[in-house]
Amino acid sequence: MDLTHRSAGEQLHALERGDVSSRELTAAHLERIDRHPEYNAVITVDHDGALAAAADADERRAAGRTGGALLGLPVTVKDSLETAGLRTTCGSPDLAGHVPARDADAVARLRAAGAVVLGKTNTPPMCQDIQTGSPLFGTTPNPHDPQRTAGGSSGGEAAAVAGRLSPLGLGSDLAGSLRLPGHYCGVHSLRPSHGIVPARGHIPRPPGWLSASDLLTVGPLARTAADLALALDVLAGPSPDDSAAWRLELPAPRHERLHEYRIGIWADDPYCRVDAETRALLDDIAKALHGTGARVDTTARPVGMAESDRLFQRLMFANSAAGAAPEAFAGEVTAAGNLPPDAASPGAAFLRARTMRHRDWLLANEEREGLRKRWAAYFGGIDVLITPAAPTAAVPDQTAVPVPERYLTVDGERRSYWDQTAWLNLAGPVRLPAATVPVGSTADGLPLGVQLIGPYLADRTVTHLAGLLARSMAEVRPGHVGNSG
């Protein structure tokens, strides 16, 4: 089989055995990118730089200087992460000519591990959408159905991995920006525990900023759970400024075998109902897990979904104000001050959260810490919680529709466009690791996945169970959709 169709781990093994050189493997991926412009996923291709890096990897391997877990492996990087000498626009016309002098910290880790950066993948302007299209590069469609969205904001990265343009991708996640595209495109994704992968060099914030949102994580997209674990080994660790004083050693998976796990299942919720096919998938998972002997709890809930989501939105809107132009922000402060006390519209909530005083943010953060305590108590008796990834499989693309006019349809019911990420937002405010895993397909052949949420810093437990679950469900639902051809 064409090596571009193999997982990252399999491609690395081929490199280690000498079955292929990095230059050959890189050239094969570059050729596939050029041959499939319809994916519109890799929007800045570094042909010369990638081939030069591949040749260097081959020389290092030939000389016995392997030193790097990803030596010679082609990868792609979301266009929100800065890359030294390679255009980084974050989909914004204002940054069309931005060529950073320095890699984002996470990109630097990939390169230090020997990875070969093929290019940058599409993202909506400033990552501010849950589907992927920009005025600079157009729309990235879903590789399984071009009339549907690839999701966002890491939609270009998910489409690149699903379309076999890249075996491993680096993206980012604030409101499901890794996990929604992973779910829609039928690939694996991991939002690591907050703080274990440095986010400096991510846009937004504006170029040159040293800080990042306290809701943002940087993480991988891949074709297997084992590839997520491989990437996590490379990415996780203290920031360069902290590395002189401490190290990170993530705990091993809590168990070895599927039947040993204690698994919670939150299959549906009145706050964000899922469609019939998604609910059927969760029911099949519960039955399969019961059949293995695993302990399954379908009733306990760590938090209230509505309460958690409202807090997440307040924190997200407050964070988003950091990059606003001074004049624009001053106008928002004035508008918020003029709101009637009883104004309760989404626009009013947005303005109040975006312009909240620091004391109000501290109170919201204290509420977040309370939610974290409740999650920790829940995980005292449960190893991993399985939830829907989204209410449905990939929805029709709406990049040409003004955002206020967009909507979601769930079993014939018209719903808010933003309901797509409500399930993913459970992990966002409380800094928990969460993965999406493709484990089924719809009657129309679209990928259908679930979300796995684990305790803080139990990232290896999440990726391990993701692999076990994917293999178990492949037996229950043989032939489910994975990657696009």
* Integer CA distances (angstroms), 199 to 230, 384, 397, in order: 19, 25, 29
Residue 481 pLDDT level (bands cut at 50, 70, 90): low
Beta pairing partners, 142:
145
373: annotated active-site residue: no
8-17 helix and 22-35 helix, angle to the nearest 10 degrees: 140
pLDDT at 404: 93
- Going by C-alpha positions, the residue among 445, 457, 419 that lies closest to residue 309 is 419
Do the Cβ atoms of 80 and 172 come closer than 8 Å?
yes
Whether residue 485 is predicted with pLDDT greater than 50 in this model: the reply is no
Model confidence band, residue 65 (pLDDT cutoffs 50, 70, 90): confident
Domains in the chain: ranges and CATH: 3-235 (3.90.1300.10), 262-305+370-476 (3.90.1300.10), 308-363 (no CATH)
Residue 482: pLDDT over 60: no
pLDDT digits (tens, 9 = 90+) for 402-451: 999 999 999 999 999 999 999 999 999 999 999 999 999 999 999 999 99
pLDDT at 480: 59
* Residue 153 is a catalytic residue: yes
Place 484 in a pLDDT band, splitting at 50, 70 and 90.
Answer: very low
pLDDT in tens, 161-195: 999 999 999 999 999 999 999 999 999 999 999 99
Please check the confidence at residue 243 and state whether its pLDDT lies above 50.
yes
**Whether the predicted pLDDT of 394 surpasses 90:** yes
Catalytic choice (21, 78, 120, 172) = 78
Residues facing residue 83 across a β-bridge: 86
Number of neighbouring beta carbons within 10 Å of residue 464: 25
Please pick, among 7, 153, 172, 441, the residue that the annotation labels catalytic.
153
d(CA 174, CA 213): 8
Rounded to two decimals, the pTM is: 0.97
Q: Which two tokens stand for residue 436?
A: 């999406």
pLDDT at 479: 65
DSSP 37-87: GGG--EEEE-HHHHHHHHHHHHHHHHTT----TTTT-EEEEETTB-BTTB-
State the catalytic residue, choosing from 177, 193, 320, 484.
177
In whole numbers, what is the pLDDT of the chain averaged over residues? Answer: 96
Residues 376 and 31: their CA atoms lie apart, in Å, by 47
Percentage of the chain beyond pLDDT 90 is 96
Q: In angstroms, rounded to a whole number, what is the distance separating the alpha carbons of residues 231 and 222?
A: 9
Percentage of the chain with pLDDT > 70?
Answer: 98
> What φ, ψ does residue 67 adopt, rounded to 5°?
20, 70
Distance between CA 320 and CA 129 in Å, rounded? 13
pLDDT of residue 166: 98
State both tokens at 185. 């495109």
Q: Nearest CA to 423 among 454, 395, 390?
A: 390
387 alpha carbon, distance to own chain's centre: 16
For the segment 9-49, what is each residue's pLDDT rounded down to a tens digit?
Answer: 999 999 999 999 999 999 999 999 999 999 999 999 999 99
Helix, strand, or coil (residue 221): strand
- DSSP assignment, residue 91? T
Catalytic site includes residue 177: yes
Give CA–CA dist 160/146, Å, rounded. 14
